[in-house]
Structure 1
Amino acid sequence: AGVRVATRDPIADTLLRLLTGEIVAIKGLGGFHLVCDARNPEAVERLRARKGRGGKPFAVMVANLASARRWARLAPAEEAVLAGAERPVVLCEKRPSVDNELWGVAPDLDSIGLMLPYTPLHYLLFHDNAGRPAGTDWLDEVQDLVLVMTSANPGGEPLVTDNQEALERLKGLADAYLMHDRDVLSRCDDSVMIAERSALAGAREAPRFVRRARGFTPRSIRLAQKGLSVLAFGAWLKNAVCLTRGDEAFLSEHIGDLDNPGVCVAMDQAAEHLQRILAIQPEAVAHDLHPDFHSTRAALALADRLGVPAIGVQHHHAHIAAVLAEHRRSGPVLGVALDGVGLGSDGGAWGGELLRVNGAAFERVGHLAPLALPGGDQAARAPWRMAASALHRLGRAADIAPRFAAQRGAAQIEVLLDKPHLCPTTTSMGRWFDAAAGLLGVCERMDYDAEAAMRLESLAASYGSALRAHRGWTVREDEAGAELDLLPLLAELAGERNPARGAAVFHATLLAALEDWIVAAARRERLSKVALGGGCFLNRQLAFELPRRLSARGLEVLTARQAPCNDGGIALGQAWVAIQQLQPGN
């Protein structure tokens, strides 16, 4: 289970191993990292293969801001977040030097995840690399050492925290281990953030969470009013739980995706941990509407055991409610929920929604046009399938087989799409991103969540500004409100031969379409406030440019700042809705 190395200088020995291409498991504050030299492509590729990571980007640690500037074009807001006491990973615009010298760290993306040292052990490694100089000047001097720092969580399991556990579970992943005798009492991954790059933002724009964990949890989020204590169990992906006490909400650290049994256990432990450290027994529980989620089942089991109410909260209502909770508002607002998928109150797969939200109540007043999902859940991982769905809607089904001949099953997709009862549909914004990426050949199969959207965004940034598509969308009224259809935009992309230009056109048109759709709905509903939620708002154009445009049109725009806009913030919204529902008189 591991052989103790006889060494008088574990720091120097660890650095030597890293510089000679080994992968070292290093114990940190919230668990272990798997670490290698980011400048060594063989080591990076070996780590990628061992973790089964596909093309998913790695975060890297550098010595200081001066060193970070060598690898990224840092905006003032990004520097402030990087150097903050919380030390999150910050997604920054990478320089060409990254692809030239840190090959394989962040392939096909325009961003690199950077972080600075945050434990004495990290500083000792960089001090040793600097030649162990006297004084403190070295802390601000440029260093060439760049370390890949990825969570030691084999196979999507929870982060490894214990020394003996590391020797057993990381066998075959790590070549060596650097440990200490301080136990990790609460598992906690690195936080990940984005900050505004535009000069228009100044210092006023708050950074946004991609993942809220180390450095920020269990920091409370202040609510507008006191209510019953609610334990909310979150969503299926990017799970986090939330416990309220009085007028405070305590959102747990990022736990992970509940398709892994170990993560399900970790979720149960996180819920118990919050109850223990806050000395609170919940007076109600809240959960997603999906009956098959482990989070839903755990919530119902706890409610039954404690004899307290269990409140189901629709996924997209919870996204908007999370934003309202941190801004201490109750509505009415126009909620714009754009994400990958969530179970709708009608049993459908929602993900591009306009909701009129007023406290515990909501009404669906608009949605994106539905796209068929050929192969069901398979389509969410294969953008070429969503592209085929778009071609079928465009009346170009005959183009599917020759266009995607290299993809297994391409010849059968047309037959599947011709039978609506075999193809569920979705209003998901994420699937429209996938369809665009598939049509442009940017990404036909995904190795990790939102890969197609991230690569599409990076390509658009590389091209620069572009004119929006001519008549790129339509809006029509149906029984669920205003339906925004982007099919005319996809028709243009289907014939585009320059993927970068196509990606830029997609973003320019999408921004214009969303702006008009949202403003028209707000006027129709006589609402002056708009709340934006859902994972698609991690796209920089949607995160920063769309709010600016909506503000310029006279709307007050609320966005997620203290919790992630993605499913990592869902539990906060669930708890808030439950509190509203349990208020006297509701």
Structure 2
Amino acid sequence: MTTTSLIQQRICLTVQGTVQGVGFRPFVYQLAIAMGLRGGVKNTPQGALIDLEGSESALKQFLRRLQQEIPPPAAIQTLTQQSLALQGFDRFQIWPSDRAGDAATAQILPDLATCPACLRDIFDPHNRRYHYPFTSCTHCGPRFSIITALPYDRPHTTMAGFELCAACAAEYGNPSDRRFHAQPNACPRCGPQLEFWPTTEQPSTPMQQAIAALRQGNIVAIKGLGGFQLLVDAQQGAAVERLRQRKHRPDKPLALMYATLAQVRRDCEVSEAADHLLTSAPAPIVLLPKRPGPTLLATAIAPHTTHLGVMLPTTPLHHLLLQQYGSPLVATSGNPAGEPLCTDNPAAHQQLAAIADGFLVHNRPIQRPMDDSVVQIVQGRPQILRHARGYAPQAIQLTSGVETNPRILALGAHLKSAIALSLGTQVVLSQHIGDLETPQAIARLEQTVADWLTLYRCQPTALACDLHPDYSSTGLAQALAQRWQTPLIAVQHHYAHGLAAMAEHRLTAPVLAVAWDGTGYGPDQTIWGGEFLQITDQGFERLAHLRRFALPGGDRCSREPRRTAIALLYACYGDEAFAMTDLAPMQAFSAPQREVLHQMLTGSFNSPMTSSMGRLFDGVAALIGLPQTVSFEGQAAIALECAAAEGSVSGDYPFIVSATQPAVIDWRPMVQAVVCDRRQGVAAPMIAAKFHCTLVEVMGAIAQRAGVAQVVLTGGCFQNRILSEQAIQYLRDRGFAPYWHQRVPPNDGCIAVGQVLAALRHLAHSRS
């Protein structure tokens, strides 16, 4: 050993990333002790700070091992080093957290499913946490749903009101224990407790009362990690139907919770990727293909679909319930139709009283609501459809060169509402909030904005919103901009979609964005939705779009695909369309109703024009005899996708692409061919499959014309697995580089991310 290597040095490391609530400080402590280093580690509002003194060789070895051996889910995003004068530390310690400072930028860990070690604890009769439903450690349990402030310490969580008993305090203070500084740490003596309402005189536990109620076919509202869920026996058809009736949810598929993966395999086909997702720390609802053959599941769980939404237990409470119950349960969000998720015990009892027969509750407060995340698998990779428990909040790193000094708060869209906030070199996406269709949902958006600005100790320097003037999120953004006297940047909907995909994949312009959805407000004040945008460094250019068609009744078309189908027929055949009474959409209306629709279309009365691909899906679905009316968004398109999954076909329908700029994609030859096939008795699955192939050919035609290598697939239409996978393969085969959403949803849940990026671009260009 050289004399130089023995010279004592001091370095200070500033660490950003996933370093709070994941056992990072105990890992640093043990590593520093092993290396014979002195100093300390502490949490800060920005991440973690490590102050070290020791020999040069020991410090170098510490730095190497810190980055190579960090245990998941901890992750280092940035690490900066500063040399300082020796302080004379005599040992290494874990110091109290810093609570002061600038805006908090520390990454907050999402809630994590129960780890194997804690599962062993709750099922070990000799463990003091045997059957305790709130067991957790630094590797699992609540995080984002209980944190009240940064840095992440117990006084800054909803566990602050539960004083640790001596045994739990000893674990909490022992750096070698996996519960060292596990903020939700608790046991039956000092932690949260269960209750069942209404209580019975029978000498049984709350868990046993809940199980008895479920066996009797009752609906039980359970307080989960981020809010209430409604549970019912998945094998009792009458109970499932009762849940649908009471919740006013006639058609939308219901999610299932199974005790084990082996039980899932009895009803679903589980790929290796699905296996990994189901058993991962986020533990989302995963969309899995139904296994053919007989099943014990109630047919009303997911009628007319090819997939089931399935999850495994996510908390000790769910593990204990499912293990003792023995068969799968329906587990759907605990909220009345159109309203936000319930989180508070008294409020839930009041709001869910007309739905639930019993309530399994606990006394640990939920700081912020958190739905279950929903994920599907596209091309063997996970694709988040609902960004919530286990994934939110998510930090998305921006490409180098993007100006991020401004603090941008983006309010998102109207459906699948979520917000985003720029923090340094990253954009943080919130949890799914929901559709802003009710005053309660709008109030939840306002609460989420206030919560985020308090949590991140941030005052925005600018706001971003959707271009649509009537969105509730736009209205809130306008009110906040006026209150705070900050700039407001309105962002075109499909441009935001494209930028969100670019941010996720860290792409730089030029990019061709295929942005297909139900509706988005265009700068020409028409409804867009079947768009091809070339995104440049300066903004975007509309390269192509679907030929516009009328929507008789406006928004009513989203609930009545039959209206859209008639509009498509009118665009193809004019007045003769109304003589085609052999077609399902015409049969779905009486003669007087058809006459009203005729007048609306001929007089352009209450019939706004659109280029929406989502509405084209709806119209074609209705044309071939699929749902004429729907009860949830995307129902007709899902039916068309499911039909396509049953069909097999080669070739495609005709379409025309104009030579204009932007190019107009004329779908009328396709619709006329669909009508011809339908009248000749071609089965709906064959037509649906051919329709999907045609849309892929449309993409290819415009991509070839644009000549841009990078192509992103974005918008709600790309929740369609068949469409996405066929498009990805088609584009790859022709030399393009296709990208699709994986970490953020393809639907409007991604809009806020794109709005932030658009606002940053706008501000940067305005200064140049």
* TM-score, normalization by structure 1: 0.92
Paired residues for 1:467-478 under 5 Å: 467-470=650-653, 472-478=654-660
Q: How does 1:70-469 map to 2 (within 5 A)?
A: 70-97=266-293, 101-130=297-326, 145-196=327-378, 201=379, 205-224=380-399, 225-227=402-404, 228-359=406-537, 361-395=539-573, 396-401=576-581, 403=583, 404-407=586-589, 409-420=593-604, 422-463=606-647, 465-469=648-652
- The one-letter code matched in structure 1 to 2:636 is A
Q: Is residue 5 of structure 1 aligned with residue 208 of structure 2?
A: no
The worse-fitting range, judged by mean Cα deviation, of 558-567 and 445-454 is 558-567
CA distance in 1 between counterparts of 2:219 and 2:563 reads: 37
Q: Secondary structure at the match of 2:489?
A: strand
AA aligned opposite 2:329: L
More displaced 10-residue stretch of structure 1: 33-42 or 267-276: 267-276
TM-score w.r.t. structure 2 length? 0.71
**CA contact under 8 A between 2:267 and 2:295: conserved in structure 1?**
no
Separation (CA, whole Å) in 2 of partners of 1:311 and 1:515:
33
Q: Do the aligned partners of residues 581 and 98 (structure 1) sit closer, same or farther apart at CA in structure 2, a change above 3 Å counting?
A: farther
Give the superposed CA RMSD: 1.8
1:138 alignment partner in structure 2: none
Give the residue type in structure 1 aligned to 2:721. Answer: R
Q: 1:166 is matched by which residue type in structure 2?
A: A
Change (3 A) 1:98 1:482: farther
Which moves more between the two structures, 499-508 or 102-111? 499-508
Deviation at 1:449, TM superposition (A): 0.3
**Whole-Å separation in 1 of the counterparts to 2:537 and 2:743:** 19
Kept in 1: contact 2:198–2:358 (CA 8 A): no
Comparing 482-491 with 563-572, which one deviates more in the overlay?
482-491
**Worse overlay, 569-578 or 489-498:** 489-498
* Superimposed CA distance per residue, residues 73-129 of structure 1 (whole angstroms, 9 cap, x where no aligned partner): 122212211111101111111123577632100000111100110011111112213
Tell me which moved more, 334-343 or 542-551.
Answer: 542-551
Gap change, CA 1:330 and 1:69, over 3 Å in 2: same
Alpha-carbon offset, residue 402 of structure 1? 5.5
Distance 1:350 1:98 in 2: 44
Q: How far apart in 2 are the matches of 1:362 and 1:98?
A: 52
2: distance between equivalents of 1:166 and 1:180? 12
Give the residue type in structure 2 aligned to 1:206.
R
Q: Is 2:240 the counterpart of 1:44?
A: yes
Q: Which runs of 5+ in 2 are unaligned?
A: 1-195
AA aligned to 1:63 is A
Alpha-carbon distance between aligned partners in 1 of 2:408 and 2:580, rounded to the nearest angstrom? 49
5+ residue gaps, structure 1, are 131-144
**Larger CA deviation: 503-512 vs 394-403:** 394-403
Change (3 A) 1:267 1:400: farther
Quote the Cα distance in structure 2 between the aligned partners of 1:248 and 1:438.
43
Q: Does structure 2 retain, via aligned residues, the 8 Å contact 1:391–1:399?
A: no
Secondary structure of the residue that 2:381 maps to in structure 1? coil
In the TM superposition, what is the alpha-carbon distance from 1:8 to its structure 2 partner? 2.7
- Where 2:764 maps in the other structure, the secondary structure is coil
**Compared CA separation, residues 580 and 107, structure 1 to 2 (3 A):** same
Spell out, residue by residue over 1:242-286, the C-alpha distance to the aligned partner (whole angstroms, 9 max, x if none). 111001111111111111111101101111111111111111100
Q: Relative contact order: is structure 1 or structure 2 higher (C-alpha 8 Å, sep ≥ 6)?
A: 1
Contact 1:23/1:36, CA 8 A, preserved across alignment: yes
Does the aligned pair in 2 maintain the 1:360–1:578 contact within 8 Å? no
- Structure 1 counterpart SS, 2:273: helix
Residue 33 of structure 1, CA deviation: 0.4
SS at match of 1:96: coil
Shift of 1:583: 1.7
Contact 1:401 1:411 in 2 (8 A): no
Structure 2 Cα separation of the partners of residues 97 and 243 of structure 1: 48
Hey, what's the Cα distance between the residues in 2 that align with 1:20 and 1:32? 20
Map of 1:135 onto structure 2 = none
* Greater radius of gyration (CA): 2
Write the distance in 2 (CA, Å) between the matches of 1:300 and 1:330.
30
Whether the aligned pair in 2 keeps the contact of 1:511 and 1:541 (CA below 8 Å) is no
- CA positional deviation for 1:209: 1.3
What is the distance in 2 between the residues matched to 1:441 and 1:384? 10
Q: Distance in 2 between matches of 1:363 and 1:483?
A: 14
The structure with the greater share of residues assigned to helix is 1
Tell me how many residue pairs correspond in the alignment: 558
Cα distance between partner residues in 1 of 2:293 and 2:243:
21
Q: Displacement, 1:22? A: 0.4
The partner residue of 1:554 within 731, 735, 747 is 735
2:670 alignment counterpart: 489
Partner in structure 1 of residue 193 of structure 2: none
Is 2:264 the partner of 1:68? yes
Contact 2:411–2:420 (8 Å) recurs in 1: yes
| Contact 2:247/2:336, CA 8 A, preserved across alignment | yes
Q: Do the aligned partners of residues 43 and 97 (structure 1) sit closer, same or farther apart at CA in structure 2, a change above 3 Å counting?
A: farther
TM-superposition CA deviations, 1:220-244 (whole Å, max 9, x none): 1111245111000000111101111
| Residue range with higher mean Cα deviation, 22-31 or 420-429 | 420-429
* Poorly superposed stretches of 4+, deviation over 4 Å: 97-100
CA deviation profile, 1:515-548 (whole Å, cap 9, x unmatched)? 223222x22xxx2211221110110123222122
Q: 1:571 is matched by which residue type in structure 2?
A: A
Task: Determine helix, strand or coil for the equivalent of 2:337.
Answer: helix
Please give the residue correspondences for 1:507-518 in structure 2 after superposition, counting only pairs within 5 Å.
507-518=692-703
**8 Å Cα contact 2:546-2:665 kept in structure 1:** yes
Look up the match of 2:710.
529
Instruction: Evaluate the alpha carbon distance shift between residue 411 and residue 146 of structure 1 in structure 2; reply closer, same or farther with a 3 A threshold.
Output: farther
Matched-pair contact (CA < 8 Å) for 2:197–2:360 = no
CA distance in 2, matches of 1:398, 1:268: 47
Q: Is the Cα–Cα contact under 8 Å of residues 417 and 436 in structure 2 kept in the other structure?
A: yes
Q: Describe the SS at the equivalent of 1:154.
A: coil
Using the TM superposition, give the Cα deviation of residue 559 of structure 1 relative to its aligned residue in structure 2, in angstroms.
1.9
How many Å separate the matches in 2 of 1:55 and 1:503?
Answer: 21
Question: For the residues of structure 1 that align with 2:545 and 2:314, how far apart are their CA atoms?
Answer: 44
